[in-house]
Structure 1
């Protein structure tokens, strides 16, 4: 199970750097402030870089304000030279100084760059409601089937898991694949079993980097704890961040292992639902992805078995939803879901055809109601009754 304590802060000292630049002895805090106040964008960039390198937290509010103003200028299509590079230097300084950046500039940062900078900075937001709203907005850009970068999707999920976000849980329940595969075998075949079994739920690109700017700084996300990064989003799959500096004479290296993974599978969502219920994925897999072996005894018997087993599955899913509701998750009442019915013919002789596959079985969650009923175009009959 994951630790539900507040998210671990971004430990700058543990971030890997490539030929990191040291702060020259002549650079003092007063010199940094003078650079930040300069009218030249490259000098302000150096001021932000040194502020982050020296840990000048007193300059954090100014860094956050400059980041906000620069992103707003970028949104208004400012033609100021090197503005995009300046924004990246400011974001790096904000990360190193653990600046609490408001939601609006963080959303803007995600609009123009990969989400990695935003997903690192989001942990410093002081307001849980603002953090949740921003994360849900970022997730809205990643609908099911188009989740994109697996690491970014997972980092968002891990943050929302720590917040125990009800809207996110409702979304997970809508997106998780619910199916029941009926494997039809010859009479006397070994291994007939029910699908639900004994489950009992009782409880952007940079372009040419300016020569008069600080070194390029690149952040990567990774699942690999051995890569030397800092843990930013603990969860069923921990997400780590790595910081690398690249002087002008050094080309960008390839990203670390496990930092370019795309797509989200069935198991990813089940991992979160299991964590929310303090259970294991192995307990939820037969609940949402049931399999039942059925000995062939004619069309009517198969139809009855399908009705009985899907009714049991619906009952178990409703009990799982009640368990989530008892833990404080809201918004599940009235949620409409469906079970995809699949029939696999594993008989030796297929001379007698199997019946047509029933349509998906629709049902409504009612976590506060103890009596499960199914609805849909073809309602599930009570177990044992003919269709």
Structure 2
């Protein structure tokens, strides 16, 4: 097929014209939570009254962990038998190249704002180019905000390739997962004795989110029998435990096992509720189309919302209610539009390059 005849369309997840797909629904929810958490860096923080209760921490884990959960879920559904070399080529083209562009943009637009107008050093820039910032956090200078997520994502890809064959033996998979998390935890403590910090403090939690997404994809048939009320009960109990944890145990979040129990115990049941109720919902075709477009451009939105907001703040720096409307009410649709444009442009380029290789 001639590349000029290619008409690229955003990926659609729905089999029914009126049915909401759970992956799309959860992706949109996670994305808007991230935007909600980050808007306060550029205008009035509408979450400020809740931040004293550390609400941003569980919301961050719920949303970013949710992206990793969905990533593990989708990879098991689509890449379980793909050769490792083909898998890495696919991930490089789909994920790394947009990320590389984001690192360059962050270096000149976002990083100086939060670091006393200092640009990242060459070593720090290279750490991020190589996606090592999750393994060597703040090694030369502070990590770039937000896009550290991609470093964890590539570590999760390595875990996926190492353990995907074990999914047919659930016990073996869980055993390897447990040993991996324990090893990371103790290795961090061991190396810290020499004054070297390795692995982000929440690295294990995010790896667990990804692994549980893999596990859910393999055992989805079992959870389809679980009632929504049971899942909500589990989530509610975990939320109550979290409240006790905040108020009486460790507001500093230094007890990792308890953090894992409360965050995972709250988030995973809510994800499963989303998977169960979404197919039962239906809505207007235009809304479904919009949700699909937002989900389609979600990765670019995640990568580039901070640079776009930073440039908008350059235009209107002084905080006020009109400036808040400019940043939030105008800014979020603009972020979504630019992200969609970037994603379609990039996919079009990938498609043409693929056709060119086939011709050769």
Q: Under TM normalisation by the shorter chain, which class is it?
A: under 0.3
Greater RCO, 1 or 2 (C-alpha within 8 Å, sep 6+):
2
TM-score, normalised to structure 1, is 0.20
Larger Rg: 1
